[in-house]
């Protein structure tokens, strides 16, 4: 497969439900920019419109990517399109609720302050769980496709890693010790070591004074885009480098997601890594470099024998 065939724009439209959801999300995200700038209302220290805007951008990227990915799934086409439709509907419910709650200045996630808020949070948790299990289903379907091995390997690893990143969100849903000691209608938090709403990185909002579980969740969610980039790069390299790049690259990315999550759980800001965290990065990169070199040598030996 050539890189230009891999990234044909027509592939983005393969699963119509996901494609049109992505288009709508882009339009809404752009429409929210004036409100983000002009509306002075804040929630947890940032504009009430910042969270929905980020979610609509994320939803657009996810939907475009999985519509693109589905174009390579030639077996079980009906199941692929049905799963895409289920994902699209579930994400639509999620982001509409987030936008509606933001518009009235209320938090959507972790809000258990009233029976209505509990019902809304439960609906959101249910539909995002559906997205997670649907993503796992697609990841498994990739393995049974009649495609080039490199393509299947990249897409399967990327999609599985994305499911892992999605699953990391569940770490945020347990009430903190502070919330249990002083109940204020919130059960769950992004931050570790401080309350949500403190100083954070611009737009991303990740805490700059404590751990933030959104970091691992974010990088994990975007694993499939990383996998696609690695796949594209691999097609430009000699054959002996392709599988090692795809395999080591995706597993190293998963290791990175695990490292930043571990960093967050230790109440450490992503932007201020400790010596322990830096040692972890060094070990990860060393193992990756060694594994890549060994796999390349193995591939070259196999090629010579053939």
Q: Are residues 101 and 233 in the same domain?
A: no
Contact 80, 138 (CB under 8 A): yes
How many alpha carbons fall within 13 Å on the CB side of residue 164? Answer: 20
Instruction: Say how far apart CA 110 and CA 148 lie, in whole Å.
Output: 43
pLDDT of 306: 67
How many alpha carbons fall within 13 Å on the CB side of residue 228? Answer: 21
Instruction: Say how far apart CA 19 and CA 66 lie, in whole Å.
Output: 9
168 belongs to a structural domain: no
Number of continuous H segments (helices) and E segments (strands) in the chain: 11, 4
Domain count, the chain: 2
DSSP letter for 104, please. Answer: T
Q: Are residues 196 and 100 in the same domain?
A: no
In the structure, what pLDDT confidence band is assigned to residue 302 with cuts at 50, 70 and 90? confident
Q: Are residues 143 and 184 in the same domain?
A: no
Instruction: Say how far apart CA 29 and CA 54 lie, in whole Å.
Output: 8
174 belongs to a structural domain: no
- 29: domain range? 1-147
Q: Are residues 128 and 190 in the same domain?
A: no
> In this structure, what token pair is assigned to residue 98?
């987030």
What percent of the chain has a predicted confidence (pLDDT) above 70?
98
Instruction: Say how far apart CA 292 and CA 84 lie, in whole Å.
Output: 34
Helical pair 149-167 and 239-265, crossing angle rounded to 10 deg: 0
This prediction has a pTM of 0.94
Instruction: Say how far apart CA 141 and CA 135 lie, in whole Å.
Output: 10
pLDDT of 27: 98
Q: Are residues 117 and 68 in the same domain?
A: yes
pLDDT of 238: 93
Q: Which residues pair with 200 in a beta bridge?
A: 207
Whether 4 shows a pLDDT value over 80: the answer reads no
In the structure, what pLDDT confidence band is assigned to residue 1 with cuts at 50, 70 and 90? low
42-43 and 46-47: which strand pairing? antiparallel
Buried b (16+ CB within 10 A) or exposed e, 147-170: beebbbbbbbbbbbbbbbbbebbe
Residue entry with tokens 């999609």: 159
3-state secondary structure of 117: helix
pLDDT digits (tens, 9 = 90+) for 212-265: 999 999 999 999 999 999 999 999 999 999 999 999 999 999 999 999 999 999
169 belongs to a structural domain: no
How many alpha carbons fall within 13 Å on the CB side of residue 276? Answer: 10
Q: Are residues 83 and 199 in the same domain?
A: no
Q: Are residues 81 and 211 in the same domain?
A: no
Whether 304 shows a pLDDT value over 90: the answer reads no
Q: Which residues pair with 207 in a beta bridge?
A: 200
Q: Are residues 140 and 198 in the same domain?
A: no
Instruction: Say how far apart CA 153 and CA 231 lie, in whole Å.
Output: 9
Angle 139-142-147 from CA coordinates, rounded to 5°: 160
Instruction: Say how far apart CA 56 and CA 62 lie, in whole Å.
Output: 10
Strands annotated E in 106-164: none
Q: Are residues 55 and 96 in the same domain?
A: yes
Whether 147 shows a pLDDT value over 90: the answer reads no
């Amino acid at each position: 497969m050539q890189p230009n065939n891999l990234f044909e724009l027509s592939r983005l439209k393969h699963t119509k439900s996901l494609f049109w959801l992505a288009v709508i999300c882009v339009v809404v995200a752009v429409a929210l920019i004036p409100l983000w700038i002009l509306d002075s209302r804040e929630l947890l220290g940032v504009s009430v419109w910042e969270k929905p805007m980020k979610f609509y951008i994320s939803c657009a990227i996810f939907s475009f990517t999985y519509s693109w990915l589905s174009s390579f799934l030639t077996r079980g086409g009906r199941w692929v399109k049905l799963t895409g439709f289920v994902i699209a509907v579930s994400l639509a419910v999620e982001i509409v609720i987030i936008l509606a709650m933001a518009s009235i200045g209320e938090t959507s996630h972790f809000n258990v302050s009233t029976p209505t808020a509990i019902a809304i949070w439960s609906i959101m948790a249910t539909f995002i769980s559906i997205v997670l299990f649907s993503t796992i289903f697609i990841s498994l379907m990739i393995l049974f496709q009649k495609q080039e091995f490199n393509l299947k390997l990249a897409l399967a690893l990327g999609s599985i890693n994305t499911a892992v990143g999605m699953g990391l969100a569940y770490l945020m849903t347990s009430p903190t010790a502070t919330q249990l000691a002083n109940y204020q209608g919130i059960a769950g938090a992004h931050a570790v070591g401080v309350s949500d709403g403190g100083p954070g990185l611009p737009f991303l909002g990740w805490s700059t004074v404590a751990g933030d579980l959104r970091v691992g969740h974010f990088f994990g969610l975007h694993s499939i885009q990383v996998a696609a980039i690695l796949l594209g790069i691999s097609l430009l390299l000699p054959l002996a480098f392709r599988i090692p790049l795809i395999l080591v690259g995706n597993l190293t990315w998963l290791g990175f997601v695990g490292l930043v999550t571990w960093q967050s759980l230790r109440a450490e800001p992503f932007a201020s890594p400790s010596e322990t965290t830096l040692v972890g990065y060094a070990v990860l990169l060393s193992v990756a470099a060694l594994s890549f070199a060994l796999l390349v040598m193995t591939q070259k030996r196999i090629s010579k024998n053939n």
